[in-house]
Amino acid sequence: MDIQQIVREVMKEMEHNSPVENDSSSVTQNYEEKHFTYPIEKEVTVDHPVNKSSIEQVQSLTPARIGIGRTGTRMKTKNYLDFRVDHAAAQDAVFKDVEDRVLESMDLPILYSKAKTMQEYLMNLDVGRKLNEESVKWLKSQTGKGKQVQIIVSDGLSSTGIEETIPDLLPALKQGLDSKGITMGKPVFIKKSRVWIQDEVASIVDCDVVISLIGERPGLATSKSISAYIIYRPTKESVEADRTVFSNIHEGGVPPVEAGAYLSDVIEEMLHHKASGVKFSQIK
């Protein structure tokens, strides 16, 4: 049976089961007026499992694809569709921009890296590590420099992660720092930027600690994760070992509000010990 025959059979069955009149105009109208949502629900699709309850228990503990069946050498249709949905969500997280309504709700100044397109951003690491000229001028013109902490929000590789976590994380982080009497510069949002852009920002605003909240590369388990990269007084010689990283911040990992409160505690310690990264972990 070819694909056209399959489509005809499916349409015939849909029309047969439809409660409305089965004429072509009503079917078309009914289709156009409704949106289809594909439900992703974990279920054991292995044929004749020896211990189904054990598989279900493990499935409840991990987002990994466990207990999926196969037909011959291929996944079953449901598992394949689940995979495609997750893959599409991961691609959207990388390539789409953070929605305007989210940016407006955060009320953050929007700066830009030197990456002009997403293609350039993905293929050339260096352009995402530097601000463009206009953003440098804007930062230099701002008052209120020399604060203890500067917060940067970056879409990075997951705009979805920013949309889902920052509205809860950022207020919790700011509240935590404020309650400790720690001074902050105005948080900024930098489009198409990478972690190392925080070094340039820190040098311009003359802060002690800079923290980047950045969308992480999405996987098939979640497209909503972000990480926090923190460094004390970065210089041109700073390397990855000088940065402290907290990852897996999302609804299925570390809850955003909890992460914000915890990060404020960590920053307070960094300011006290004047260190971050490996040096900070050795002090602790």
The answer to the question of residue 25 being in a domain is no
Q: Out of 33-42, 88-97, 168-177, which region has the weakest mean confidence (pLDDT)? A: 33-42
The answer to the question of residue 211 being in a domain is yes
Number of domains within the chain: 1
Residue 147: its pLDDT value, please?
Answer: 96
The answer to the question of residue 253 being in a domain is yes
What is the per-residue pLDDT across 241-283, written as a single tens digit (0 to 9) for each?
999 999 999 988 899 999 999 999 999 999 999 999 999 999 8
Tell me the binding residues.
Answer: 195, 216
The answer to the question of residue 130 being in a domain is yes
Mean predicted confidence (pLDDT) in 11-21: 55
Mean predicted confidence (pLDDT) in 170-175: 97
CB 165 within 8 A of CB 250: yes
The answer to the question of residue 65 being in a domain is no
Tell me the binding residues for adenosylcob(III)alamin.
Answer: 195, 216
Q: Which domain holds residue 215?
A: 100-283
DSSP for 70-89, written as a single string: EETTEE-HHHHHHHHHHHHH
The answer to the question of residue 12 being in a domain is no
The answer to the question of residue 3 being in a domain is no
The answer to the question of residue 146 being in a domain is yes
CATH code, domain with 260? 3.40.50.11240
pLDDT over 70 (residue 5): no
Which distant-in-sequence residues (6+ apart) come within 8 Å of 265 by Cβ?
A: 176
pTM for this predicted structure: 0.74
